[in-house]
């Protein structure tokens, strides 16, 4: 009994020493502390530059999540006052937009919000034209809160299996198939969505029931990106019998692997890509995938001209020879909106299914004609 007691007394000091050692104060951690002046920036819709004065106790990097909002410099140092310049491009949309600046120190992050006021809707319509048809896609949701499909009195679908044209990979459905919807209207725009369901890529191709001969045709669009996407805004003849004899007008085509470049073209029996005589043009424009832009066609008896945001992309003139092989554009055409996946052009550099689902957004479509 006595031995046991003595042994226990010998152990206790060791135990107490060990416990005392484990309770030493840990090394203090420096919290990432950063202040901004002003606390928030708001820009008008015009191009602009403003400054933010920053103080921080640690080194940090800065990034912007929007390409229309850029910053210089992109780093700051501990215990120094840093002034950064914030530049924004013109907001051509009719909605306010925001960008987030992220100040990072390892896993620690602080965010700063940049706001830019909505732009005014610019009127690009040439003088002498009157609005004769439009779809603003402002249809309300159903009573159950569901998005609605395009109005069947104004639009019809083309349905087709993969490989139907241009070796494209998608299956075109009539707006929806079961619970899978590829054309829906909500929040003031039509969304055409390409999505992978099982082993299929589903999408939609919608066309106007009405057709027109000559006029000014305009749509405000935001394009999907990623290798494989191929959205288009184009026209085909109402009384179609053969391609390319009856003509085709491509107001806008976009392939996701060629970022921020819009294309326009015409196709006729004499001028088409099958015989490498196509007439076409392209234009590089920033933010095609993140901002809305206005794409338009002015079609007269004399020439075809396409535009983006009021700037000419492509012009094709009537040779006035009365030959349908070179100018079949003297008959009614209807409008088409579709989102293809892959194919001869859209898939020329392969496809990347991580881009799916991809959304082609149409704010409005308007048609004007001269009185």
Cα 226 to Cα 246: distance, rounded to the nearest angstrom: 32
pTM of structure = 0.74
CATH (residue range 129-370): 2.60.120.200
pLDDT of residue 141: 86
Reading the block at residue 265, the tokens are 């073209």
pLDDT of residue 8: 41
CATH architecture of 34-116: Sandwich (2.60)
Q: Which of 168, 218, 248, 298 is catalytic?
A: 248
Cα 346 to Cα 313: distance, rounded to the nearest angstrom: 20
Reading the block at residue 75, the tokens are 């780093």
Nearest to 297 by CA among 305, 309, 286: 305
Q: What is the DSSP letter of 362?
A: E
pLDDT of residue 349: 97
Specify the domain boundaries for CATH 2.60.120.200 within the chain. Answer: 129-370
Q: Which of 168, 218, 253, 361 is catalytic?
A: 253
Mean pLDDT, consecutive 10-residue stretches, the chain (371 aa), reads 43 46 57 92 95 94 92 94 94 81 93 91 94 94 87 97 95 94 93 97 98 99 98 98 98 98 98 95 96 96 98 98 98 99 97 98 97 81
Q: Which helix (H) or strand (E) holds 344?
A: helix 343-346
- Reply yes or no on whether 248 is catalytic: yes
Specify the domain boundaries for CATH 2.60.40.10 within the chain. Answer: 34-116
pLDDT of residue 144: 82
pLDDT of residue 5: 43
Cα 221 to Cα 360: distance, rounded to the nearest angstrom: 8
| Tens-digit pLDDT profile for residues 120-140 | 888 999 999 999 999 999 888
Cα 305 to Cα 264: distance, rounded to the nearest angstrom: 9
């Amino acid at each position: 009994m006595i031995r046991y007691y003595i042994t226990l007394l010998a152990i206790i000091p060791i135990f107490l020493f060990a416990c005392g050692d484990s309770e030493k104060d840990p090394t203090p951690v420096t919290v990432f502390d950063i202040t901004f002046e002003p606390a928030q920036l708001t820009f008008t819709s015009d191009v602009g530059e403003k400054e933010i004065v920053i103080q921080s106790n640690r080194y940090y990097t800065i990034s912007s999540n929007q390409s229309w909002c850029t910053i210089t410099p992109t780093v700051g140092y501990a215990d120094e006052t840093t002034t950064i310049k914030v530049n924004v491009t013109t907001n051509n949309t009719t909605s306010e937009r925001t960008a987030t600046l992220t100040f990072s120190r390892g896993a620690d992050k602080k965010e700063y919000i940049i706001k830019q006021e909505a732009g005014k809707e610019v009127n690009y319509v040439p003088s002498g034209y009157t609005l004769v048809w439009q779809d603003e896609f402002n249809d309300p949701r159903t009573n159950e809160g569901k998005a609605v499909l395009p109005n069947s009195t104004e639009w019809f679908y083309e349905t087709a299996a993969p490989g139907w044209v241009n070796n494209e990979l998608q299956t075109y459905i009539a707006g929806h198939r079961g619970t899978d919807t590829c054309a829906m209207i909500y929040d003031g725009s039509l969304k055409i969505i390409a999505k992978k369901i099982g082993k299929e890529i589903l999408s939609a191709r919608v066309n106007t029931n009405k057709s027109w001969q000559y006029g000014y045709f305009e749509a405000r669009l935001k394009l999907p990106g990623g290798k494989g996407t191929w959205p288009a805004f184009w026209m085909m003849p109402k009384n179609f019998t053969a391609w390319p004899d009856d003509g085709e007008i491509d107001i806008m085509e976009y392939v996701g692997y060629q970022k921020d470049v819009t294309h326009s073209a015409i196709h006729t029996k004499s001028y088409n890509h099958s015989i490498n005589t196509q007439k076409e043009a392209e234009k590089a424009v920033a933010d095609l995938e993140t901002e809305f832009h206005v794409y338009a066609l002015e079609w007269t008896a004399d020439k075809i001209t396409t535009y983006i945001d009021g700037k000419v992309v492509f012009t094709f003139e009537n040779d006035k020879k009365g030959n349908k092989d070179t100018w079949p554009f003297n008959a009614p055409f209807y409008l088409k909106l579709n989102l293809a996946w892959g194919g001869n052009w859209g898939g020329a550099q392969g496809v990347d299914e991580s881009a799916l689902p991809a959304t082609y957004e149409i704010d409005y479509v308007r048609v004007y004609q001269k009185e």
